[in-house]
Amino acid sequence: MGSGIAEVAAASGHRVVVRSRSQAAADSVLTRVGRSLDRQVEKGNRSQAERDEILSRLSVTTELKHLADCDLVIESVVEDLAVKLELFAELHLVCGEGTLLATNTSTLPVVELAMATGRPEKVCGIHFFNPATVMSLVEVVSPITASAETVASAGEFARACGKDVVVVEDRAGFVVNALLFPYLNNAVQLLERGVASKEGIDAAMVGGCGFPMGPFALLDLVGLDTSVAILDALYEEHREPQYAAAPMLRRMVAAEHLGRKTSRGFYEYERR
Ligand SMILES: NC(=O)c1ccc[n+]([C@@H]2O[C@H](COP(=O)([O-])OP(=O)(O)OC[C@H]3O[C@@H](n4cnc5c(N)ncnc54)[C@H](O)[C@@H]3O)[C@@H](O)[C@H]2O)c1
């Protein structure tokens, strides 16, 4: 998600600094965004000059302190509350007083991230969808600690990125994932019960509901580890059986069949 968000922001005219933990990961962000822009040039959707200009607005670093002068920082690390809490506490220490801190979390309580900083009024969620370059929605998540200015600025940023904004309360899953994940989880349960093959279930939802892809193709795109983390956060907050991750999902995560990111999930993919 990180490189997709960086591309969207740079393509809409923002200067973007991406911080990764290793130089190799940082370089791979530049490679990914470069490849994505190359495809757009090949398709005739962008000129070569535009491509070069967008890339020139994007830089990478391994140092958190290089984010100090940013107006807005969007965190998009692994969906793990402990990791995010530590990062928000550090971000507060390194970033200038005026910097807004946002999270791309799909489900975790934004208020807890806000309270890990000394600036809870300047923290909110800016939730992009996968792939960030294609999907038109951004959920702006408003924890009870955020000021009206913070929520308004987050919405302005997302709209400047060409996105449609829905402002949502800080509840696990917000709108989209609270509705989507019971469906994805149910699809896995149907497969476990042998009601149809994964190909059959995918074809049924594409052909019968007009969805652009079936639930297993979508789970592979989201990532099975991220999907289990999302279901766990939903279950933790709502305690409803519809959010209890299907056992097959957990077994696949244990086996590192995580979807596209490991080239194997419900389906197999070419190595990235
Ligand atoms: N996958 C999706 O479809 C999707 C959609 C919307 C939002 N999100 C959210 O975006 C965030 C990232 O999800 P993803 O699917 O890109 O996950 P991912 O597992 O593909 O990538 C997470 C990245 O975070 C890095 N990371 C872990 N700890 C870090 C740290 N302390 N500092 C810097 N980097 C660190 C990992 O090395 C990895 O590159 C999560 O909060 C997730 O809920 C995901």
Ligand 1, atom 11: closest residue by C-alpha: 76
pLDDT greater than 80 at residue 227:
yes
The pick from 31, 66, 76, 221 for probing ligand 1's pocket by mutation, whose C-beta has the most ligand atoms within 8 angstroms, reads 76
* Mean pLDDT over each residue of the chain, to the nearest integer: 97
Ligand 1, atom 6: closest residue by C-alpha: 129
Kindly report, residue by residue over 8-48, the tens digit of the pLDDT. Answer: 999 999 999 999 999 999 999 999 999 999 999 999 999 99
Query: What average pLDDT does this structure show over 227-235?
Result: 97
Q: How far is ligand 1, taken at its centre, from the CA of residue 207, in Å? A: 31
Query: What average pLDDT does this structure show over 251-270?
Result: 97
Kindly report, residue by residue over 39-83, the tens digit of the pLDDT. Answer: 999 999 999 999 999 999 999 999 999 999 999 999 999 999 999
CA of 80, closest atom in ligand 1: 41
What is the structure's pLDDT at 271?
Answer: 81
Query: What average pLDDT does this structure show over 243-254?
Result: 98
pLDDT greater than 80 at residue 272:
no
Which residues have a Cβ under 8 Å from the Cβ of 148 and sit 6 or more positions away?
A: none
Query: What average pLDDT does this structure show over 208-214?
Result: 98
Percent of the chain with pLDDT over 90: 99
What is the structure's pLDDT at 26?
Answer: 96
CA of 78, closest atom in ligand 1: 22
Ligand 1, atom 24: closest residue by C-alpha: 77
Annotated catalytic residues are 106, 127, 139, 177
Kindly report, residue by residue over 113-150, the tens digit of the pLDDT. Answer: 999 999 999 999 999 999 999 999 999 999 999 999 99
CA of 2, closest atom in ligand 1: 16
Number of C-beta neighbours around residue 78 at 10 A? 10
pTM above 0.75, yes or no: yes
The pick from 7, 78, 94, 227 for probing ligand 1's pocket by mutation, whose C-beta has the most ligand atoms within 8 angstroms, reads 78
Cis (ω within 30 of 0) for the bond into 247?
no
CB of residue 64 inside a 6 A radius of ligand 1: no
The pick from 226, 232, 261, 262 for probing ligand 1's pocket by mutation, whose C-beta has the most ligand atoms within 8 angstroms, reads 226
Query: What average pLDDT does this structure show over 190-205?
Result: 98
CB of residue 37 inside a 6 A radius of ligand 1: no
CA of 1, closest atom in ligand 1: 16
CB of residue 145 inside a 6 A radius of ligand 1: no
Kindly report, residue by residue over 96-117, the tens digit of the pLDDT. Answer: 999 999 999 999 999 999 999 9
CB of residue 87 inside a 6 A radius of ligand 1: yes
